[in-house]
Amino acid sequence: MYGQVLLPALSLLSLAVAAPLDESWMQPRDSEVAHLFKRAAPDPSADNYTSYYPDAWTTPNSTVIPQAWLDKLNNLTMPNVSVATMSGSRPTYPNHEDDGDDTICSFTDQCHVDDDLYEPSGEKIFALSFDDGPTESSEDLYAFLAENNASSKATHFMIGGNVVTAPQTVLTAVKAGGHLAVHTWTHPYMTTKSNEEVVGELGWTIQALADLNGGRIPKFWRPPYGDVDNRVRAIAKGVFGLETVLWNEDTNDWAIADEPHKYSISSVEATFDEWITGNRTEPLLLLEHELDNNTVTVFKDTYWKFAAHDWTVVNVADAFNMTWYVNSGEGNTDTVTTMSVAGTLTTASTSTTSSAASTTASGSVTGSASDTAATTAAANASSWAISNKPSLVALLGSFIASALFL
């Protein structure tokens, strides 16, 4: 009797399981089905945490890139821009192509497009951001921001390789309310990378940050060295929905260590004073860093002057009146819409229960990205929530359970 009832039910169940998953039908995080089937983000305190990601300082190639990301790349209509090569200290294009023309529009040649976030609007607006974290100096910076009730006023453009080697430092920024954004996986000149490598550099950094921030998918990125052109812009926006953030002033704080004969803490602070305490009212989107003690010291020494001279300090998202993340609004505790990295945003699947400090609720990778498991990791780098179609699975499961007790 059991077999007569159970076998047809199992057949139906197998059909439901075999049905392709449509990520636009994602279950809410707090639904019963999602709780049954969700996959946890990697535990940042676990010994094998880094195995869930590509090597920290190697550009991820196509063998560790999820097929869904590559599919989106292949569906893009790309501008006719060649991959650049390094010539001395800067990228150059083949056939003497002009990197400053409208076709290429490389910010290395100070060309930027209307969609670039280059300068906020409004008088005395200071869009605060830091590149290159997390580093050994980041905890000091985060403590200072917290002490001055400024954690949520800062955007942190983080390097993916640093994120996965110092996840607890990232969590400090998350819990304090900092705005997380992307600064690529290995900090390369992005115009010298192939299309697939650009996807790997951006996508895996997004994934690592989302895994540590309750599934909140970063919406903003800043190209290392400001090296971006129309090809890279198209990939960042078309595959991941990323906004390209540049800067209208360079503090040169990064050069204190690299060029000590030319820059010092005092000389960089003097430049700050010219912007802050003078007659300037035009908004500021500065290039600043949490790179080392020098860069953090400059910020700590000058921050108080902004309020003293009537500057309004906000993070990059707020400066441009945009939401903080692709699938969430303002802050690290706002409602999150469940989706995968490079996925499709819907309004039907939301949660108000995910925590900013959560390390278990995110669009996470579920396999290992090292050695022979790399392909598995790429295939599984998707949202942990299952499709709404498997609600049929739950229904059939109930039917089977009832049949067993007939």
Lowest mean pLDDT among 114-123, 237-246, 371-380: 371-380
Query: What does the block give as tokens for 319?
Result: 């400066």
Query: What does the block give as tokens for 376?
Result: 């598995």
Model confidence band, residue 371 (pLDDT cutoffs 50, 70, 90)? very low
- Is the separation of the CB atoms in 297 and 268 below 8 Å? no
- Is the separation of the CB atoms in 380 and 368 below 8 Å? no
Most trustworthy range by pLDDT among 6-10, 28-32, 97-101: 97-101
Give the N- to C-terminal CA distance of the chain in Å, as an integer.
Answer: 9
Tell me, what's the pLDDT at 274? 95
pLDDT, tens digit (0-9, with 9 covering 90-100), for 69-115? 999 999 999 999 999 999 988 999 998 788 778 899 999 999 999 99
Tell me, what's the pLDDT at 218? 98
Nearest to 142 by CA among 355, 33, 290, 258: 290
In the predicted model, is pLDDT for residue 228 greater than 60? yes
pLDDT, tens digit (0-9, with 9 covering 90-100), for 304-348? 999 999 999 999 999 999 999 999 999 999 999 999 998 876 543
- Spans of all domains in the chain: 2-35+390-404, 44-380
pLDDT, tens digit (0-9, with 9 covering 90-100), for 39-54? 468 999 999 999 999 9
Computed over every residue of the chain, the mean pLDDT equals: 83
Distance CA 39, CA 308 (A): 48
- Is the separation of the CB atoms in 92 and 99 below 8 Å? yes
Share of the chain above pLDDT 70, in %: 75
SS3 220: strand
Tell me, what's the pLDDT at 96? 79
319-322: long-range contacts at Cβ-Cβ below 8 A with a sequence spacing of 24 or more? Answer: 319/120, 319/125, 319/127, 319/283, 319/285, 320/117, 320/120, 320/127, 320/243, 322/219, 322/243
Q: Backbone phi, then psi, for 76, in 5-degree steps? A: -80, 150
Query: What does the block give as tokens for 105?
Result: 């529009």
Tell me, what's the pLDDT at 56? 96
Q: Backbone phi, then psi, for 176, in 5-degree steps? A: -75, -15
Model confidence band, residue 248 (pLDDT cutoffs 50, 70, 90)? very high
More reliable by pLDDT, 109 or 13: 109
In the predicted model, is pLDDT for residue 224 greater than 70? yes
Tell me, what's the pLDDT at 160? 99
Tell me, what's the pLDDT at 346? 54
Tell me, what's the pLDDT at 165? 98
Q: What is the DSSP string of 151-209?
A: GGG-EEEE-HHHHHH-HHHHHHHHHHTPEEEE--SS---GGGS-HHHHHHHHHHHHHHH
What is the average per-residue pLDDT within 109-125? 97
Q: Which CATH architecture has domain 44-380?
A: Alpha-Beta Barrel (3.20)
pLDDT, tens digit (0-9, with 9 covering 90-100), for 147-191? 999 999 999 999 999 999 999 999 999 999 999 999 999 999 999
- Is the separation of the CB atoms in 40 and 214 below 8 Å? no
Tell me, what's the pLDDT at 394? 43
The catalytic site residues sit at 131, 289
User: What phi-psi label fits residue 35: left (phi over 0), alpha (psi between -120 and 50 degrees) or beta?
Assistant: alpha
Query: What does the block give as tokens for 250?
Result: 């360079």
Residues in the chain: 406
Tell me, what's the pLDDT at 40? 66
Q: Tell me whether strands 125-127 and 284-287 are parallel, antiparallel or unpaired.
A: parallel
Share of the chain above pLDDT 90, in %: 70
